[in-house]
A and B are shown apart, each in its own frame.
Chain A
Amino acid sequence: GAVVSQHPSRVICKSGTSVKIECRSLDFQATTMFWYRQFPKKSLMLMATSNEGSKATYEQGVEKDKFLINHASLTLSTLTVTSAHPEDSSFYICSAFTGGDTEAFFGQGTRLTVV
């Protein structure tokens, strides 16, 4: 099946710094990618829809200036957590659809810990 690669898998950063997470579709082009966040024992919460060549669409309650999304090419979307704080510590997952497929393919996820 299609492969979505997410990097890094784990990152620890200091409070106040920024962290960039990459999501790549390895063998297909994805005009749309999605970013999710999972809190412990909670659901996967959709944060934003990343559109290639245009601005991302954020879900209600998600801070645009806090979570910067860039979808510069058909195979790469990045999520930058700016001025990270401990409450941003979470598991972030991206997903993408291949053209015509009926299921999303997910990256491996990134465990962010802000200390």
Chain B
Amino acid sequence: DQQVKQNSPSLSVQEGRISILNCDYTNSMFDYFLWYKKYPAEGPTFLISISSIKDKNEDGRFTVFLNKSAKHLSLHIVPSQPGDSAVYFCAASQDYGGATNKLIFGTGTLLAVQP
């Protein structure tokens, strides 16, 4: 049972344009969401996160939007750069920062930013 889903396995965007990566989840108990970027053969690196009490969080070119009623979040990258080409994972957690800290990951979306 995939609790966190990224339905687009890949996305291609022109340099300078907006990249929008989507993520859906099924567990209404998730209260914290994160986005990670991963290059091949490397561990994921943290990008941005959002608590369930917010609907938007922005950090430079990266903005995460959360729609709790739809159980949907998205990552916007503006403007997209070739160096952004990587696999992006969304992750969700219940009781983040608490006793468990378990992250449930989506299946990832491969972003290719074309020069």
**What 1/0 mask marks residues of chain A from 76 to 115 whose CB sits below 8 Å from any chain B CB?**
0000000000000001010101001011111111010000
Query: Among the listed A32, A43, A91, which residue makes an inter-chain contact with B89, where contact means beta carbons less than 8 Å apart?
Result: A43
Interface size in chain A (residues, C-beta < 8 A): 27
CB distance from A41 to the nearest CB of B (A): 7
DSSP majority for the B interface? loop
- Chain B residues with CB under 8 Å of A44's CB are 44, 89, 105
Q: Is the CB of A104 within 8 A of B105?
A: no
- Chain B residues with CB under 8 Å of A75's CB are none
Q: Is the CB of B105 within 8 A of A43?
A: yes
Q: B32 in the interface, Cβ–Cβ < 8 Å?
A: yes
List 6 other contacts, CB 8 Å, given A41-B108, A42-B107.
A6-B43, A91-B41, A97-B101, A103-B46, A103-B49, A109-B43
- Chain B residues with CB under 8 Å of A9's CB are 41
Cα distance, A107 to B45, chains bound together (Å): 9
Q: Is the CB of A102 within 8 A of B97?
A: yes
Known: A41-B9, A43-B106, A111-B41. A105 touches B101 (CB 8 A): no
- Chain A residues with CB under 8 Å of B2's CB are 43
Known: A43-B89, A43-B108, A44-B89. A104 touches B41 (CB 8 A): no
CB distance from A38 to the nearest CB of B (A): 9
- Chain A residues with CB under 8 Å of B4's CB are 43
Q: Is the CB of B106 within 8 A of A108?
A: no
Q: Is the CB of B101 within 8 A of A32?
A: yes
Q: B103 in the interface, Cβ–Cβ < 8 Å?
A: yes
Q: B54 in the interface, Cβ–Cβ < 8 Å?
A: no
**What 1/0 mask marks residues of chain A from 29 to 58 whose CB sits below 8 Å from any chain B CB?**
000101010000111111001000000000
CB distance from B68 to the nearest CB of A (A): 18
Query: Among the listed A45, A49, A93, A104, which residue makes an inter-chain contact with B46, where contact means beta carbons less than 8 Å apart?
Result: A104
